[in-house]
Chain A
Amino acid sequence: MTTTLEARREAVADHERRATRAVTQYAVGGTWYIGIWYFVVSVVAAVVVITIEVRNGGVGINPAAGPAGSARFFLFVMAILLPLMITPVHLAAGGTRRTLTRGFLRGGAAVGLMFAAVSTLLVVVQPVVLGWLDVPVVGDPFPILTYLGTQVALCIVYVFTGNAIAISYYRFGGWVGTAVLLLLLLPPALAEYATTVGLVTGLPLPSPAVVVVGCAVALAASATALWFMFRDLQVRPRVG
């Protein structure tokens, strides 16, 4: 009753597809499970803030700030939580580190795209709503596609980095994990610099080449970090 090579190859390929899909679905589903509430709460909070500002004499509102601009930080937190929950279960169920890596890469890309799309939609909708309320919109106008592109890059980089940080602490513990954290934060810092819509907003606007190359390097670096952290992950024993 020995398995033939052909049957085995087929079974392994099928298994890896299933395992990768399971992780991808978990990453996307887990993020949206809470993410939907993130957007609801953020929008409600933004409405409350705008209402208060309007009642107090009216100030300018930048549509890129608020819920639209902070989605990546929410994704970052979720990306730290999810790997710790699924990794032991996935490996116990017959998955591998490779399927974990692929699943989180695909899942990260998917939620990055989705959250960037929703953020962009908010940016498009917000000036319209503010116009109805006679609230002036401040900030330089920018092409929506450029905004979408930079949000996609930022969101995905933050997800990959969050995943890598989670596994880094799992693998290396507190002290080394914190040291590695500084390295792992370089890709999002680069993406922020390249897009200048995040933490380093005071900097001059980079050229399009800097934006494209910076985002590409940040994406590649964060994906590599994720792969590196997962590829040799050792599951801790529960008992001696």
Chain B
Amino acid sequence: MTAKPESAETVAPFAAELRDVVVRYDRDGEPALDRTDLTIPAGTITGLLGRNGAGKSTLLSLLAGFRRPTSGEVLVGEPGSLEAAYENPWASMNVQLVRESGDVWGDERVSESLSHYELLRPAWDADLAGLVLDTLEVDRCTKYEALSRGKKSAVAAAVGLASRAPLTIFDEVYLGMDAPSRYAFYDLLLADYAEHPRTIVLSSHLIEEIERLFEHVAILDHGRTLLSEPAEDLRGRGTSLTGPADVVARHVGDRRVLSEQRLGRTAQVAVLGSFDAAQRAAAVSDGLELDGVTLQDLFVHLTATDVAPAQPGSGAPVAQPQEER
């Protein structure tokens, strides 16, 4: 085996862009992606959210060059020099898509598959792969097929982290893990991301527990980009009020309620829209605590069936519910 090139460790984090992308699996069926535009900024952890069938996996497989779009452009690369993702060796060697299935040999020992990845991935870190497997208690001498679903997910997580690809994509890989394993994975991911900055895309339905990782969020709905913006901006689209229920109700007024929790006389209500300085001061003086809302509450609201999807060809549009202020 020849030594890997020195450039392997010096590739900048990749950005990704979809321009007017359509994907159809059947000629007459609904498109999986329908004139989708999306930008994934380089050097961020981006959360890709969407309901079942929204087109997340299709979109991610485009970024990895697993397939080409029916029409439109899919570009990846270092900022300022994006290029087509499909059948482009530079893109392929620097983009790692990890699916829940793991994309490893089922009837071989885990170590055999890892060896194949090590051979092909320029920045592969075998020590990190070992660390992830040890932390998540996976025996690499076991055949992949013999592992439980959670351990299979752990193998996928190890592949994704150890590849250190400038664009690393995790497509629901951690769903099979139990809670301690998932949290261990998040910690490993954050630690390695801090040490080796790259672009990471996380697709998950476990929004509540993973949203703390997101710096950028994109939401897909019915094959279209509903929004794509920094996570902080998105959290600022709503406000959470906590305090005596009657006081909270007075300040909520006719705002759209995203979620509501009560414990005795105390209520916590998440509403759509922000409070201006005067409204905020009034609420605080009445003894309320104000905070941002969770992405999960916003996600549920934004992807509810009564919110119209973005219009095609309008860039990366933002849903505009009537009640938003």
Residues of A within 8 A of B (CB): 1-4, 7-8, 10-12, 14-19, 22, 26, 85-86, 88-99, 232, 234-235, 237-240
Q: Which of A12, A14, A96 contacts B2 (CB 8 A)?
A: A14
Kindly list chain A residues whose C-beta atoms are within 8 Å of the C-beta of B92: 91, 94-96
Kindly list chain B residues whose C-beta atoms are within 8 Å of the C-beta of A8: 7, 90
Q: Count B interface residues, CB 8 Å.
A: 54
A1-B11, A238-B101, A239-B57 given; 13 more Cβ-contact pairs under 8 Å: A3-B7, A3-B11, A7-B7, A8-B90, A11-B93, A18-B119, A26-B116, A85-B105, A91-B65, A92-B97, A92-B99, A94-B120, A96-B87
Grouping DSSP codes into helix (H, G, I), strand (E, B) and loop, the B interface class, with mixed when no group exceeds half, is loop
Kindly list chain A residues whose C-beta atoms are within 8 Å of the C-beta of B122: 11, 15, 94
A97 to B163, CA, bound (A): 20
Say yes or no: B120 contacts A93, CB within 8 Å. yes
Residues of B within 8 A of A (CB): 1-2, 4-8, 10-12, 32, 52-53, 55, 57-58, 61, 64-68, 78, 80-81, 87-90, 92-101, 103-105, 113, 116-117, 119-122, 159, 163, 165, 171-172
A11 to B101, CA, bound (A): 29
Say yes or no: B10 contacts A239, CB within 8 Å. no
A95 to B97, CA, bound (A): 12
A1/B52 contact (C-beta < 8 A), A8-B90, A93-B121, A98-B87 known: no
Say yes or no: B89 contacts A12, CB within 8 Å. yes
Say yes or no: B105 contacts A238, CB within 8 Å. no
Expressed in whole angstroms, the minimum distance between the Cβ of B203 and any Cβ of chain A is: 10
Kindly list chain B residues whose C-beta atoms are within 8 Å of the C-beta of A10: 5, 7
Say yes or no: B89 contacts A92, CB within 8 Å. no
Say yes or no: A93 contacts B87, CB within 8 Å. no
Say yes or no: A89 contacts B105, CB within 8 Å. yes
A10 to B6, CA, bound (A): 10
A10 to B159, CA, bound (A): 24
